[in-house]
Amino acid sequence: MPISFDPSSKIFHLQAKNTSYVMQIVNEGYLAHLYWGKRVRHARVPNSLRFKDRGFSPNPNKEDRSFSLDTLPQEYPAYGNTDFRGPAVQIEQPNGSRITDFRYDSHEIISGKPKLSGLPATYVEGENEAETLKLRLKDEVLGLYITLMYTVFKELNVITRSTLIENNGLETQHILKAASINVDIRDTRFEMMNLPGAWVRERDVERLSLRRGVQSVGSRRGSSSHHQNPFIALVRPETTESLGEAFGFSLVYSGSFDASVEIDQTNQTRVTMGINSFDFSWKLEPSEVFQTPEVVMVYSSEGIGEMSRTYHTLYRNRLCRGEHRNKERPILINNWEATYFDFDENKIMSIADIAAEAGIELFVLDDGWFGERDNDKTSLGDWFINKEKLPNGLVGLAEKINEKGMKFGLWFEPEMISVDSDLYRNHPDWCIHVPNRRRSESRNQLVLDFSRPDVCEEVLKRVTAILDSAPIEYVKWDMNRNMTEIGSAALPANRQKEIAHRYLLGLYSVLEELTSRFPHILFESCSGGGGRFDPGMLYYMPQTWTSDNTDAISRLRIQHGTSLVYPVSSMGAHVSEVPNHQVGRITPLETRGHVAMDGNLGYELDVTKLSDEEKEEMKKQISLYKSIRMTVQYGDLYRLIDPFKCQNYGTIHVSEDKTKAVLFYVHVLAEANGPFQTIKLSGLDPDKDYRIIETNEVYGGDELMNMGVNIPYPNHDFKSVMYRLESL
C-alpha cells in the first residue's frame, strides 16, 4: 500500500513511485519528520531520532530535559511552545495569546484524493491513482483541529500536501499564519534554487548555498508575481541536470506567498511554504474551517531534469483540466504588437488574410475593441463593443475570421477598472481602496474588489454576455497591475487583512464558473506576460503568455527558467517583428521561429509589412511546426544547454514512445575563428537508430547521447538549428 501505519512504532510510511516519506508520533503526541528521499522497502529507520539536553532549548516536560520542540524535526510546528524556529501556524486568541499546542488526535487513510474547497489543486481520475492520509492534530485547550492532508501519487514521485484548520471551540480565533507545509530535514547539505525576475525578465534561475538562519522568497503583491515564482527546490551541491537529488516545492496558488528555508543550531533544515503571513489574518468563527492551498512536493534522484519532467507530467495531466488539456495548441496570431490600440476592422482583416494564407489557425483580437479604448487610460470595466472600430460588432468580425478558416479569440482584462469608465462612475467603491487614502494607479487602472460577491457577479455577467455574443473560441485573460492600498468597503475592520486571499477565492470562483459554462474556449492566462505564471492559474487556464518580452534571445532564459516547473504545453511563445519592441534587437526570422517553436508557436507582428520571402518563410515555419507540434508540446523535455551558464541554448523534446524527437539549438554570438560545436542529446532509446530528417544521416541513440551530433558552424550572430529525429 502507498500509505501504511505501524501502531507499535507509531510510524507513518508514504511510498510513491520511487520515493518514501516517513513520520512518527513521539513523546505524547508530537509529530516528527524522519525521512524523505529515495524509496525504501521498510520504515524501521536505522537513523532514528536521538535526543540530548541542549542549552537554551526549553522542555515541554520538565522531567525530560533531553526533549525539546526546539530541536525536534517537526511536521507542522506551532508558535510559542518551546520551538524558536519559524512556525507553520500561529493563532491569536480572544485573550491576546498566540500560543497553541497541537498533538496527534487521529488519522484516516482513504483511496483517491479529495477536492479542496474553493481552491485549485491537482486531482485524480480514478481512486486507484492515489491514496490520501488525513492526519488530525488537536489543541485541547482551544478545541482547534488541524488536518494535515498527504496525497501519494502511485506512478509519480509526487506527494501533495495541504492543511485544514477547524474551529470546534466556543470562541472566535484569528489565524495569523497558516502554512500549507512544513518539512524539517535532518541535513543541511543543500543549495536552494528559485526563480526570481521582473516584468519582461521573468524566471531567472538562481542557485545559492544555504546559510545558517532564514533565507526566503515570496510575494507581497497580491499575485504570485513576475518577481518571484511560487517554487523552490533544494538540491545537493553535486546535483546536475541528470544526476543527483532534487527536492521540489510548488505552491498551487496565485496570490501573495512565502517560501522559507531555515538552518537551525543543530544543522537541520526547515522548509515552510504557503500564503504570505505579511498583512494577513483570518477570522475563524466557531464551526468554521480554513483551507490552505496545496503544495506539490517532487523528489528526484536523477537530477533537476527528472524533477522538471515529473512536474510537467503531473501538471499537464492532473492539474490542467477540460477538453483542451491534451489537445494540440493552435498556432495563433495576435494583433497587439502589430497595431496596439490603432486598428479597425479593415486593418484586422488585412492581417487575417495573410495569416490564413500562411496556415495560422487562430486570430486573437487584443486590447482596444471595447468602450472608448483608444489608449490605456480608459474603459476597463465597460465591456461593450466599440462600434467605430468594429461596425459589424464582434460577431461580424468573428464570422469573417471563421470564413478564412481560422478560429477567433479575444483579449480581456476583467479584474481591472479604469477611473475613466462608466463602471467606476457608477460604483466607485467597487475597487480595492482605503477611505481617505490616495487610490494609486498603475497603467492608469485600479483593481476591482473580487473579495466582494457582487463584483464577481457583475464581472461574470459582463464577460458571459460577450462570450455568448459571438463564436469566440479562445480568451486571453490579462491582469496588468498588483494591489496597493488594500482595503474593501464591504468588509468590517477586523477582516481587512483577509482581502487579498478573499480576492483570490473570488477570482477562482469566477474562473470556475466561466470555464464550466464555456468548455470549448481555450483560456490563456496573462499578467503583463508571466506575472501570474503559477499552478493555480493553470488549473483553470492550460496555457499562459510566458512573457511580454518577445525577443528571441531574451526568451532563451525565460523559457528555460519556466521549464523548471511548467510544461511546454502551457507556454505561449510568439514570433515578433524586428527591431524587437522590448530590447531593440534584430534577429533572423528563422531563429525567432525556432525559439517560438520551442513553446506554443504564435505570431505577433504586422504580417502586411512582410516581404514575399518572409511570408514564404513564415508559411514554412507553420507547416513545419504542425508536423512536430505533438512531440514538442507533449513529449518529454530535456534541457541540454543552460543559457544561464553560457550564452547558448539547447533542448530536445522526445515523444513518449521515443520514436520521435525535436532538437533546438541557438548559438547567440558568433566568434572569429571559433570552435566547432557538438551537442550530446538526451532521452533517446540507446537501442534504436534515428534518422535526422534535415541531414538524412542515421545514428544510434547511444551514439547521439554519448558522442553527440555536430552543429553547423555558427558564421553569424543568433544562429539557430532545428533537427527532427525519427526512429527506423
- Residues with a known catalytic role: 478, 548
Note if the bond before 579 is cis, omega within 30 degrees: yes
Residue 696: phi, psi to the nearest 5?
60, 25
Residue 258: which of 298, 284, 221, 209 has the closest Cα? 221
Q: Please count the other Cβ atoms lying within 10 Å of the Cβ belonging to residue 579.
A: 11
Q: Which residues contact 50 (CB under 8 A, 6 or more apart)?
A: none
- Long-range CB contacts (< 8 A, 24+ apart) of 47-53? 47/186, 49/24, 49/73
Q: Report how far apart, in Å, the C-alpha atoms of 708 and of each of 17, 455, 680 are.
A: 31, 58, 4
Nearest-10 Cα torsion for 545, 551, 557, 562: 10
Locus of grid cell 461574470: 460
Cell of 403: 470564413
Determine contact, residues 300/294, Cβ cutoff 8 Å. Answer: no
User: 644 by DSSP, 3-state: which?
Assistant: coil
Cell of 172: 472566535
Identity of the amino acid at 256: S
Instruction: Give 720's strand partners.
Output: 666
Determine contact, residues 31/76, Cβ cutoff 8 Å. Answer: yes
Identity of the amino acid at 550: T
Determine contact, residues 562/538, Cβ cutoff 8 Å. Answer: no
Locus of grid cell 550564452: 647
Tell me how far apart the alpha carbons of residues 177 and 279 are, in angstroms, rounded to a whole number. 10
Tell me how far apart the alpha carbons of residues 226 and 217 are, in angstroms, rounded to a whole number. 12
Instruction: Give 724's strand partners.
Output: 662
Residue 567: which of 597, 542, 596, 594 has the closest Cα? 542
Q: Report how far apart, in Å, the C-alpha atoms of 328 and of each of 130, 588, 727 are.
A: 27, 26, 22
Cell of 221: 503583491
CA dihedral over 133, 139, 250, 317, signed as positive or negative? positive
Determine contact, residues 244/235, Cβ cutoff 8 Å. Answer: yes
Q: Which residues contact 703 (CB under 8 A, 6 or more apart)?
A: none
Tell me how far apart the alpha carbons of residues 458 and 475 are, in angstroms, rounded to a whole number. 18
Locus of grid cell 480554513: 290
Kindly give the pairing relationship between strand 362-365 and strand 332-334. parallel
Cell of 389: 472600430
